[in-house]
Amino acid sequence: MSKELIRLRDLCMAFDDELVLDHINLYINDSEFLTLLGPSGCGKTTTLRIIGGFTTPTSGDVTFDGVRINDVPSHKRQINTVFQKYALFPHLDVFENIAFGLRIPKTDPESRRKVKLPESEIQERVLEMLKVVNLKGFEKRAVSSLSGGQQQRVAIARALALSPDILCFDEPTSALDPELKRIQQAMGITFIYVTHDQEEALAMSDTVVVMDEGKIQQIGTPEDIYNEPKNAFVADFIGESNIIDGIMRADGVVEIFNRRFQCVDVVIRPEDVDIVPEGQGQLKGTVTSVTFKGMQYDIIVDFKGFKWLIQTTDHCPEGARIGIKIDPDGIHVMKKSAYSGMFGDYSSFSEEYDELDDATLSSDEEESGDEE
C-alpha cells in the first residue's frame, strides 16, 4: 500500500498580505483516506484547491508521484474534486450525467489523435459506477427528482467514472460517512476529505490532519489524534476534554491545582474518570448538572470552582458530593503551547452550564472540593 502520491512541501499561500497557509508539509499515500479537519477559515479549502490545481501557491511545492505539478492545470491532473454544490447537469438524466466526462474525446498518446470511447464501454462503465454508489436502476431518473444524498452520489459516480487517482471532497452537505468509506475501499483510490466535523473525520479517515490558522497542528490516525493530542487546541477540538493547568512533579507525576515546577497542560477525557464514593476519591466535588445522552450521562462536577465534564453510566443526582479516580493512563500531559490556557474549565464552552451557572454558583463556592 503506502506509496506516496502527493506531497506538499513548505506550502504557503498569501492573499494580499495575509498568510492563510503557513508552511504546510504533508504527504498523502496511495489508497489513503485523509481528512483535513479544522475550524472555519483555517485553510482547508485553500489546501484542497492547491492540490486540485485550482489555486497556485505563493511558495512551496506540490508533487504528484515525485513530480512537481505546481504549474499543471487542474484538467491535466489525475485528481477530481466533488464540489459542495454538486454541479450536476439538470437537463441530463442520471446516466448522461455520469457519462458526461467519458463522452469527451481523449488524445491518444501514440497517434496524438482524438479518440472517442466506444458506446458499449461507456455503458459498461456508467452501470459499474451506479453499482459502486448504490444507485442501480436510477439511470433514467431526472437529477431534479433525486434527494440531496442521491445527487451527491451521482456527482461521486461522475467523478469516479474518469478513473482518477485521487478524489477530493470539500464539505459535502449530506452525511455519507459509512457509504463514502465503503466506496473508497471498493475503488481502492485516495480520498482527500475536508470537514470541520470531528466525528465524521474520526469515523472515516485513515489519517486526520488537524489545522488551525493556516498551520498543521497534528497529523495522525484517528486514535492518535484522540488519545494523544499534541496541544490544547487539538485536545479541545477533537472530542470533549478537561484541560487543566498542571505541574510536572517528577517524570510521570503531575500535580494539578498548584503551580510549583515546570508547567504543563493536562487533558483528561470525560470517559476516563471513575466516580467513587466521596471518601475514596483522589478529588471530591459537587455535581452541578446531569444530562442524559442515551449511552451515558454527561455530568458537570465542580472541583474547587473548576468545572469538569465527566461521562458515566452511573446516575449521580445534581447536588451530590462525589469522589473521582483517574487511572494513570487516563491523564494525558501536553507541553505548553500558544493554545495553553485558552481551553479548560468546562463552563467556558458550555451553554448548558451557562444556564445553570446563575442558579448554582453561590451554593457551590464554599464547599468546593478538597484535594487529598
**What residue ranges bind Mg ion (CB under 5 A)?**
45
Largest CA distance in the chain: 86
For residue 15, state whether it binds ligand ATP (rule: CB under 6 A).
yes
Q: Which stretch binds ligand ATP (CB under 6 A): 43-51, 107-115, 199-207, 249-257?
A: 43-51
DSSP string, 141-204: SBGGGS-HHHHHHHHHHHHHHT--SEEEEE--SS--HHHHHHHHHHHT-EEEEEES-HHHHHHH
CB of 45 to Mg ion, least distance (A): 3
Residues 173 and 86 sit within 8 Å (Cβ to Cβ): no
Q: Which stretch binds ligand ATP (CB under 6 A): 41-49, 118-126, 148-156, 275-283?
A: 41-49
User: Binding-site residue total for ligand ATP (CB under 6 A)?
Assistant: 11
Residues 313 and 334 sit within 8 Å (Cβ to Cβ): no
Q: Which is nearer to ligand ATP, 38 or 281 (CB)?
A: 38
Binding flags for ligand ATP, 142-181, as an x/- string (CB under 6 A): ----------------------------------------
The C-alpha cell 497542528 sits at 217
Contact pick of 2, 10, 25, 41 for ligand ATP (by CB under 6 A): 41
For residue 35, state whether it binds ligand ATP (rule: CB under 6 A).
no
For residue 289, state whether it binds ligand ATP (rule: CB under 6 A).
no
Q: Which residues pair with 332 in a beta bridge?
A: 267
Q: Which is nearer to ligand ATP, 50 or 102 (CB)?
A: 50
CB of 194 to ligand ATP, least distance (A): 7
**Share of the chain residues as helix, strand and coil, in percent rounded to the nearest 5:** 30, 35, 35
Q: Which stretch binds ligand ATP (CB under 6 A): 35-43, 303-311, 320-328, 354-362?
A: 35-43
Q: Which is nearer to ligand ATP, 119 or 197 (CB)?
A: 197
Half-sphere exposure of 270 (CA within 13 A, CB side): 21
Total Cβ atoms within 10 A of residue 168 = 23
Residues 156 and 82 sit within 8 Å (Cβ to Cβ): yes
182 binds, options Mg ion, ligand ATP, none, Cβ within 5 to 8 A by partner type: none
Q: Which is nearer to Mg ion, 31 or 84 (CB)?
A: 84
For residue 230, state whether it binds ligand ATP (rule: CB under 6 A).
no
CA distances from 260 to 58, 190, 338, 340, 369 (A): 45, 49, 20, 17, 20
Contact pick of 23, 196, 304, 321 for ligand ATP (by CB under 6 A): 196
Q: Which is nearer to Mg ion, 40 or 111 (CB)?
A: 40
For residue 43, state whether it binds ligand ATP (rule: CB under 6 A).
yes
119-132 helix and 148-161 helix, angle to the nearest 10 degrees: 130
Residues 6 and 166 sit within 8 Å (Cβ to Cβ): yes
DSSP state of 361: H
Contact pick of 1, 3, 17, 40 for ligand ATP (by CB under 6 A): 40
Which residues bind to ligand ATP, rule: CB under 6 A? 15, 20, 38, 40-46, 196
